[in-house]
Structure 1
Amino acid sequence: MTSLILAALLAGLYAWLRRKDRRMLRNGVVLVAAIWFAVGGVTEVIARWFPPFDYVWLAVLALAPLAVLVLAGFLIANGITMLRSEGRRLGNLLTLLLGVAILGLPVLALLLVFSANPLAIGLAFLLFFLCSYLGVVFVVFLAYAIAYGRMEHDISPAAITILGSRLIGGKVPPLLASRLDKAVDLYRAAPEPKPLLIPSGGQGADEIRPEGEGMAEYLVGAGIPAADVAPESRARTTRENLGFSRQVQQEAGRPGAQLVVTNNYHVLRAALLARKYDVDAQVVGSPTARYYVPSAFLREFVAILGEHRVLNAVMCLPFLGVTVLLVLAALANS
């Protein structure tokens, strides 16, 4: 029962934090903890009333290595699909590299342990600790990204900003069209006065014109009045998208809250950045091709790790400290 009580308390805390500000990653930590204790508590109750249920958990544990192999195979296959569909860029290699790492790191760790070298064994333990930490952080990120993406916005926006992505031949590709179509739907569903649509994106090195310009053309072609479309054509990052779009909104004399539209895999990071830079905005997501989602989520995860690198480094210090102590103890006994 203790686990269920903790789950209920954490669920209440999650509801309060989410109501206070849904754009916080710590909400995801509390959510995952609540789910963990809830599953543990329910399992404990079922096992008490139906003892053979314990064997189900043993079966799950026995199948864990197979699940890891299946996951690695899926990631490698997805990486190959990404290379074929999206080209040979580093961002498109992430699922392939992760799949190979999932297969290769356990082998490397065993080789280090069997070497009987204290330093090598210490490195194996450090790899285990770091991989475990990254795994837990990724689960938190993924769980809250999904939860945030399913939340309904609760504002009547004065402006809707559409985050840009790469144009192909100066035209809007399907990924970006999904964002723009979502913005059109939101615009049409909004009450009068209609919100200002701000397509935001500068011109990349491989583009023949700014993304904001191409996006604005798409919106007008979809039937949005030109007077309600104000393109922003300087931004090169999500942070700049948010900042420059706010300037466009202010210059247009349309004060009030924003909705930011991006693809579903990008909603959480965009929301975190909006909160960090004090932009009064909620973020909504549009659909993404299924084959693209795993790699896209990994890119977002890597970006969030980079944006919180100091915190992550501090969180990993205890693992490093334990590893050093284990190596020193092993050297002392050798």
Structure 2
Amino acid sequence: MILVWLLLVIAALFAALYIAGHRRDPRMLRNGVFLTMSLGLAGLTGIYWAALVVPGGEVVLALMVLAILVATVTLAIALIANGITMIRLEGKRLSNVLSLLAGIGIIALPVLVAFLFGLDLQHLPGLTVTIRAVASLLVLVTIYFGVAFISFAVYSVVYGITPATSRPTAIIVLGSGLINGEVPPLLRSRLDKALALYHREKLTGHRPILVPSGGQGADEPRPEATAMAEYLLSHGADAEDVHPETESRTTRENLALSQKILSSLGVEGEYLVVTNNYHVLRAASLTRQVGLPARAVGSPTARYFLPSAFIREYVAIITQYKAFNALACLPFVALVGFLLWEALQKR
């Protein structure tokens, strides 16, 4: 029972870190890690406690392990099916096959690890130990990035459903690609969300500035923000409230250049940044990095598009913090290297 209490204390510590971090700034990505660790440890504690004290707890534990395995296989199959749907509806670009690759990886990785651990090169015992060490490192690194992804996904949902409480002085709408120079469904959902927020504020006598933000891509006949502004104006936004930003190429530039426009207009206070729901957490994190006093809110996205979109956002976050993630993996490399060295010394 000592272990149960220890796990509960650690879970409570992570919960306290989450609450403090969320109150300080809900846009911090580390909040997701604290929340996930707290929930995960609390869940593991409950399972372990049940196995100890509940009659037939061992059977319950075995059934839960089986359920997790079945859920994992089901998830892999669903991701593969989603990847096929993405290819059929959106084309064969790399960003559209991420869910397919993830599903294949979930199935292939355990098979590869089992194969590596099962290798027994009797005439090359040193090589056998080295291969197993590599397999161990692969497991540890996979667990790290798996927990990081779960943290990102969980906190994306939590942040996205947390209501904004302040009244925005401006609404920034992040751009996405045009199709033949016109607003496609994905971008339309962002604009419709912004319009709903804008009209809601107008009903209270408050008129926030609308900043559609997006430059002209290499395959686009005009800046995204120009088409976005036309859409806003055609759906009831007042011309004096719409100030497009047409130079940005990335989300970070969307935010920084929109802030310049708002500063030039003398608009202060807290802003809202509208994007799609899968993009909310990374957009919020970037507002913090560029010093923009803003909260990000999400618009609906087609369900089939969400898995690949979430994975793409996660890859972008990992790439953005690649130095930190490399450092975080160094202890795994050091541990496996040390154990490998000891094993080779004994031979």
Task: Decide: shared fold, TM above 0.5.
Answer: yes
Distance 1:130 1:61 in 2: 22
Match of 1:134 in 2: 145
CA shift, 1:10, in A, is 3.7
Stretch moving more, 78-87 or 103-112: 103-112
Superposition map of 1:155-234 within 5 A = 155-190=166-201, 191-234=204-247
Q: Does the 8 Å CA contact 2:47/2:61 hold for their aligned counterparts?
A: no
Partner residue, 2:261: 248
Pairwise CA distance, 1:51: 2.3
Cα offset, 1:155, TM superposition: 1.7
> Which moves more between the two structures, 56-65 or 94-103?
56-65
Equivalent position SS for 2:97: helix
Equivalent of 1:85, from 83, 89, 102? 89
Q: What per-residue deviation string (whole Å, max 9, x for no partner) do you get for residues 172-200 of structure 1? A: 11111111111011111114330000000
Using the TM superposition, name which of 108-117 and 261-270 deviates more.
Answer: 108-117
What's the offset of the Cα at 1:36?
2.1
The CA deviation string for residues 261-289 of structure 1, in whole angstroms up to 9 with x for no partner, is: 00011110011111111111111111110
Equivalent position amino acid for 1:57 in 2: L
User: Equivalent residue for 2:293?
Assistant: 280
In terms of mean alpha carbon deviation, does 313-322 or 105-114 score higher?
105-114
Range 180-189 or range 247-256, more displaced = 247-256
Matched residue, 1:11: 15
Q: 1:38 to 1:76 in 2, by over 3 A?
A: same
CA distance in 1, matches of 2:233, 2:91: 30
Partner amino acid, structure 1, of 2:115: L
Structure 2: unaligned runs, 5 residues or longer: 121-127
Shift, 1:7, TM fit? 3.9
Runs of 4+ in 1 over 6 A off after TM superposition: none
**Residues 1:60 and 2:71 are matched in the alignment:** no
Which residue number in structure 2 is paired with residue 30 of structure 1?
A: 34
Instruction: Give the letter for the 1:286 counterpart.
Output: S
Decide whether the 8 Å contact of 1:258 with 1:282 is kept in 2.
yes
Q: Quick one: which of 162, 187, 200 aligns to 1:151?
A: 162
Q: What one-letter code is carried by the residue in structure 2 that aligns with 1:16? A: A
Q: Which amino acid aligns with 1:271?
A: A
Residue in structure 1 matched with residue 129 of structure 2 by the alignment: 118
Separation in 1, partners of 2:306, 2:194: 20
Distance 2:71 2:9 in 1: 31
Cα pair 1:4 1:42 within 8 Å, conserved: no
Q: Which amino acid aligns with 1:137?
A: A
The one-letter code sitting in structure 2 at the alignment partner of 1:106 is: P
1:99 paired with 2:99, answer no
Aligned residue in 2 for 1:314: 327
SS at match of 1:197: strand
Give, in angstroms, the shift of residue 49 of structure 1.
Answer: 6.2
More divergent stretch after superposition (263-272 vs 2-11): 2-11
For structure 1, which segment, 25-34 or 128-137, has the greater mean C-alpha deviation from structure 2 after superposition? Answer: 25-34
Bigger Cα displacement from structure 2, 80-89 vs 63-72: 63-72
Q: Normalising by the residue count of structure 1, what TM-score does the alignment of the two structures yield?
A: 0.94
Residue by residue over 1:113-143, the C-alpha shift from the partner in whole angstroms, topping out at 9 and shown as x without a partner, is 2333222212111111111111111111111
Q: Which amino acid aligns with 1:146?
A: V
In structure 1, what is the Cα distance between the partners aligned to 2:130 and 2:221?
53
CA deviation string 1:86-137 (max 9, x = no partner): 1111111111111111222222222222333222212111111111111111
Given candidates 268, 278, 290, the residue that maps to 1:265 is 278
CA distance in structure 2 between the partners assigned to 1:42 and 1:75 by the alignment: 29
Contact 1:29/1:140 (<8 A) preserved: yes
Q: Deviations over 1:48-83 (max 9, x none)?
A: 664234422211213433332212111111111111
Indicate if the aligned counterparts of 1:113 and 1:120 stay in contact, CA closer than 8 A.
Answer: yes
> Which segment is superposed worse, 8-17 or 305-314?
8-17
TM-score of the aligned structures, taking structure 2 as reference length:
0.91
Unaligned runs of 5+ in 1: none
For the 8 Å contact 1:202–1:234, the answer to whether it is kept is yes
- State the partner residue of 1:73: 77
Which amino acid in structure 2 is aligned with residue 182 of structure 1?
K
